[in-house]
């Protein structure tokens, strides 16, 4: 007797949910595909150089997600990274058993025509690393963590930029 009631409730929810979401004005950020507001705005951004190995990885991930900038971009994305490894989980012999690698990005979207900063934000990601007796394994784990953190930061930055463009904030910032 409960199964038919549950099935009816689920069916009703599936019918009502799209109507409710449409009524609240919810729209996908990437609507319009490659011709949408977010895609056009991302193509209007050139990514500046980012220092160090972490910067190389983050810049590569950003380029993958944002694509090639237009011939005459209107904005430049400036990114400063802070890469930190903190040891914790101390053994009796004072050796570390765990590490936390944190990669933090402060990024600014600068209008090239005016030099004005139109967006100033941060993104952070961290990963736990087990310390083992093999130094090679620890270095490999730290490197893998850096690659994952770079991917995560790039995703966060691109999502924030796309949402910023979709909300119309980039259009208002144009000269």
- The model carries a pTM of 0.75
pLDDT of residue 20: 60
Helix, strand and coil percent figures for the chain, each rounded to 5:
50, 30, 25
| Domains of the chain, start order | 34-173 (3.30.160.150)
Place of tokens 């007796």: 133
pLDDT of residue 46: 93
CA–CA distance, 134 with 24 (Å, rounded to integer): 55
**175 residues of the chain, pLDDT tens digit each:** 566 666 666 676 666 666 665 555 544 544 444 445 677 788 899 999 999 999 999 999 999 999 888 889 999 999 999 999 998 877 778 778 888 999 999 999 999 999 999 999 999 999 998 888 888 988 999 999 999 999 999 999 999 999 888 777 665 544 4
List, in sequence order, every residue forming a beta bridge with 129; answer none if it has no partner: 99
Q: Which sign, positive or negative, has the C-alpha torsion 109, 122, 68, 66?
A: negative
Residue 62 CB partners (closer than 8 Å, separation 6+): 47, 77, 79, 154, 157, 158
Do the strands 75-90 and 45-47 form a parallel or antiparallel pair, or are they unpaired? parallel
């Amino acid at each position: 007797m409960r199964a038919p009631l549950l099935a009816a409730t689920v069916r009703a929810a599936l019918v009502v949910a799209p109507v409710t979401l449409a009524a609240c004005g919810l729209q996908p950020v990437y609507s319009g595909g490659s011709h949408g507001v977010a895609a056009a705005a991302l193509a209007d951004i050139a990514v500046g150089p980012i220092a160090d190995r972490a910067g190389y990885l983050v810049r590569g991930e950003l380029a993958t997600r944002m694509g090639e900038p237009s011939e005459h971009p209107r904005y430049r994305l400036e990114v400063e990274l802070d890469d930190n490894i903190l040891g914790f989980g101390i053994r009796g012999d004072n050796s570390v058993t765990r590490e936390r690698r944190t990669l933090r990005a402060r990024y600014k979207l600068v209008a090239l025509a005016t030099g004005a900063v139109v967006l100033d934000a941060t993104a952070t990601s961290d990963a736990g690393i087990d310390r083992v007796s093999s130094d090679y394994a620890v270095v490999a784990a730290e490197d893998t963590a850096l690659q994952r953190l770079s991917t995560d930061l790039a995703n966060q930055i691109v999502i924030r930029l796309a949402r910023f463009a979709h909300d119309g904030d980039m259009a208002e910032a144009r000269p």
